[in-house]
């Protein structure tokens, strides 16, 4: 699903209004070809405006959005179908590359929502079906529920949360992991292994962390930044090739840090 140009995407959480739209447009102009948003972010219209304003052919851009987050209202079929229609309208698109079920609260949500999202893949309006913050048990259920392949699971992943078991599971089902919070909300900057590899290559800790994620075969990453300087620096991860020693050193980090960890989740 993701190619070299789209494995490093741009996350848009909290980038709203005209200012957010300008940042997203700059990200696209910088070279990002995968843009990730969500109904819950309340910025799909701003992202759509950025896509319309950017000097790029639509077919060269991979657009992902998410619906039916656990904080949203009761997941009736009518609500879910309307949510998807709203996402198309706000983005100003007639096709979405990847549509996620956005972090269910329980498996009842999955049983209600996922088959409805699969309908949009079956009718050709959505190219790929994704899920977000699904556990391996959730993925087992999802695979029994729908005939449409699950293309990706978007979960937190970074050098301090390496998701080895989930990556292996997704690899077995020929799906990809999309890593949100790929810099652990700044925690990677104080990790000695990351510091030393960054110094060795003369790049930032952010670039090292993103390059490490991209060294994993079935992983894409979606760093988010409101800073133009930082989003341009992050894009340099595509040019950094870590050697085996670098990867082994980062793989060996023993510290575990999870940024998003609600009490009701059983990871």
Active-site residue list: 41
Axis-axis angle for helices 136-145, 107-122 (nearest 10)? 50
DSSP the chain: ---TTTSB-EE-TT--HHHHHHHHHHHHHHT--EEE--GGGT-HHHHHHHHHHSSS-GGG-EEEEEE--TTSS---HHHHHHHHHHHHHHHT-S-EEEEEEE--SSHHHHHHHHHHHHHHHHTTSEEEEEEES--HHHHHHHHHH-SS-EEEEEEE-BTTB--HHHHHHHHHTT-EEEEESTTGGGGGGG-HHHHHHHHHHTS-HHHHHHHHHHTSTTEEE--B-S-HHHHHHHHGGGG----HHHHHHHHT------S---TT---
Structure tokens belonging to residue 125: 């309006």
């Amino acid at each position: 699903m993701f190619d070299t140009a789209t494995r490093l995407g741009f996350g848009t959480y909290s980038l709203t209004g005209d200012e957010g739209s300008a940042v997203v447009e700059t990200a696209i102009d910088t070279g990002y070809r995968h843009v990730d948003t969500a109904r819950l972010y309340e910025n799909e219209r701003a992202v759509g405006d950025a896509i319309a304003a950017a000097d790029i052919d639509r077919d060269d851009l991979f657009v992902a959005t998410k619906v039916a987050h656990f904080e949203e209202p009761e997941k009736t079929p009518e609500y879910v179908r309307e949510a998807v229609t709203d996402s198309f309208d706000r983005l100003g698109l007639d096709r979405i590359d990847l549509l996620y079920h956005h972090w269910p609260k329980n498996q009842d949500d999955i049983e209600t929502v996922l088959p409805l999202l699969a309908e949009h893949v079956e009718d050709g309006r959505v190219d790929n079906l994704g899920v977000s913050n699904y556990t391996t048990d959730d993925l087992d259920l999802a695979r029994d529920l729908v005939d449409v392949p699950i293309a990706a699971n978007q979960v937190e992943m970074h050098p301090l949360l390496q998701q080895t078991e989930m990556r292996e599971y997704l690899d077995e089902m020929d799906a990809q992991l999309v890593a949100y919070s790929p810099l652990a909300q700044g925690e990677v900057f104080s990790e000695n292994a990351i510091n030393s590899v960054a110094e060795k290559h003369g790049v930032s800790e952010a670039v090292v962390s993103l390059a490490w994620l991209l060294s994993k075969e079935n992983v894409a990453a979606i760093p988010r930044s409101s800073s133009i300087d930082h989003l341009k620096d992050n894009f340099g991860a595509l040019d950094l090739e870590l050697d085996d020693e670098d990867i082994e050193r980062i793989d060996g980090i023993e510290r575990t840090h999870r940024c998003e960890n609600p009490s009701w989740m059983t990871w």
